[in-house]
Structure 1
Amino acid sequence: MSHLLVKPSGDHGRVVHVTPESAGWTYVGFDLNKLHAGETVEGNTGDREVCLVLVSGKARVIVDDVDFGTIGERMSPFDGKPHSVYVPAESDWTVTATTELTLAVCSAPSLGGNLPPRLISPDHVSQEVRGKGSNTRYVTNILPENEPADSLLVVEVITPGGNTSSYPPHKHDQDDLPRESLLEETYYHRLNPPQGFAFQRVYTDDRALDEAMAVEDGDTVLVPKGYHPCATIHGYDLYYLNVMAGPKRTWKFHNAKEHEWLLKG
């Protein structure tokens, strides 16, 4: 199995745990928690900032002395926009599930921005359609670069069955602004119906890194560098949650030259 493919460790509790140390990189951390109603998960951000994304289910969220109450609407990541909470550095956070809950904990280094905790409600996130034909996908911008944060960029994408996504292949692994930014990235994948599968390839121009993976419901893919297109098979829609971070908080990507013709016309 590819070292870039992280399988869930079970179906309850913290089932995915990606740290900069485990991934062999510098910035991005990603945890995935699956809780029953009444169960609690908590943490302290330390020198990192966190975005709590309710992938599915409802929960009461408290950050330090700010009680956001019970939030969450959708019971599936394929059904509407998410509720999320931004948590700054040096903060205690607590999430108590009020239904079955899938909670993503997205993290990156804080730069001392001293931002307050805040609710990112569904009516605050933008959505857009990218691509056309069999390259159409639907993007929800949870924490884009025009919203306050120190390092984190967080986005959801739904790709209809039979379509490609993160395509034409692009990369963001060079600190070469304004042409390209260096961003590590995780992809947390879900399939609808869940018995489906999709494919993701992570590769560099010189093919020193070249991994092609079949991803199943609940898998996480690490993208330390290189191009990283996805394709899902007929009959199965693909959801993924992206977490990105790097030395500068901006998304500037470079398309694979041999595939740029796909953008014409």
Structure 2
Amino acid sequence: MSKLLLKAKAGTGHVAHVTPESAGWTYVGFDLHRATAGQTIAGRSGDKEVCLVFVTGKGFTQVNGHDLGLLGERMSPFEGKPWSVYMPANCDWSVVADTALELAVCSAPSFGGDLPVRVIAPDDLGQETRGKGTNTRYVTNILPEGEPADSLLVVEVITPGGHTSSYPPHKHDQDNLPAESYLEETYYHRLNPPQGFAFQRVYTDDRSLDEAMAIEDGDVVMVPKGYHPCAACHGYDLYYLNVMAGPKRTWKFHNAPEHEWLMKS
């Protein structure tokens, strides 16, 4: 099995855990928690900034003892936009599940730590359609570079069955602005219906890294460098939650030259 693939765990609890140390990189952290109604998920941001994303379900949320109310709305990541919470460094947070809950904890280094805690409601989120034909996918910007944060970028994408995404292949592994930015990235994948599968390839120009992975519901893929396209199989829609971070908070990517003609077709 690829070292870039973190297989889904069944049941409740802390079911996915990616740290800079475990991934062998510097910036991105990703955790996924599942809880049943009445259970509590809690943590501390420490020296990082954190974005909580309510992938599914609802929960009563507090940060540093301040009640943020009942957050969450959708019961499937394929239905509507998420609720999220941004917090800077040195925050204690907790979520008491009101329903079955799937909570993503996206983290990256905090360079300033002076931004306020804020709730990001579905109505605050921009959506866009990218691509054409069988390269069409639907993007929800949770924490884009136009919104305040130190280093985190967070986005959701839904790719219909039979379509490709993160395609034509692109990369962002060079700190070479304005042409390209260095960003590490995680993909948290969900499938609808859940018994489906999809594919993701992570590769570099010289093929020193070249991994092709079958993706199942709940899997996490780590992208330390290289191109990273996805393909959703017929009959199964693919959702993924992306977390990106690097030394500069901007998304400037480089298309694979041999496939860039697709941008003009």
TM-score scaled by length of structure 2:
0.99
2:215 aligned partner, one-letter code:
V
Corresponding residue of 1:211? 211
CA contact (8 A) 2:8 2:217 kept: no
1:53 aligned partner, one-letter code:
V
Corresponding residue of 1:146? 146
Distance in 2 between residues matched to 1:96 and 1:8, nearest whole Å: 23
1:38 aligned partner, one-letter code:
G
Corresponding residue of 1:116? 116
CA offsets 1:68-112 (integer angstroms, 9 cap, x no match): 100111000000000000011001001110000000000000001
Distance in 1 between residues matched to 2:68 and 2:111, nearest whole Å: 25
Runs of 4+ in structure 1 deviating by more than 6 angstroms, as ranges, are: none
CA contact (8 A) 1:129 1:139 kept: yes
Shift of residue 9, structure 1, vs aligned partner: 3.1
Distance in 2 between residues matched to 1:257 and 1:15, nearest whole Å: 38
How do 1:6-17 and structure 2 match up within 5 A? 6-17=6-17
Shift of residue 177, structure 1, vs aligned partner: 0.3
Distance in 2 between residues matched to 1:229 and 1:252, nearest whole Å: 16
| Structure 2 gaps, min length 5 | none
Corresponding residue of 1:194? 194
How do 1:1-265 and structure 2 match up within 5 A? 1-265=1-265
CA contact (8 A) 2:9 2:218 kept: no
Distance in 2 between residues matched to 1:174 and 1:227, nearest whole Å: 12
| Structure 1 gaps, min length 5 | none
CA contact (8 A) 2:190 2:219 kept: yes
1:145 aligned partner, one-letter code:
E
Distance in 1 between residues matched to 2:68 and 2:124, nearest whole Å: 15
2:25 aligned partner, one-letter code:
W
CA contact (8 A) 1:4 1:222 kept: yes
TM-score scaled by length of structure 1:
0.99
**1:70 counterpart SS class:** strand
CA offsets 1:209-253 (integer angstroms, 9 cap, x no match): 000000000000000000000001000000000000000000000
Distance in 1 between residues matched to 2:235 and 2:48, nearest whole Å: 39
Alignment length (residue pairs): 265
Shift of residue 65, structure 1, vs aligned partner: 3.2
**2:53 counterpart SS class:** strand
CA contact (8 A) 2:81 2:122 kept: yes
Distance in 2 between residues matched to 1:103 and 1:241, nearest whole Å: 11
What RMSD over aligned residues (CA atoms) do the two structures have, in Å?
A: 0.6
CA offsets 1:133-165 (integer angstroms, 9 cap, x no match): 000000000000000000100000000000000
Distance in 1 between residues matched to 2:74 and 2:44, nearest whole Å: 26
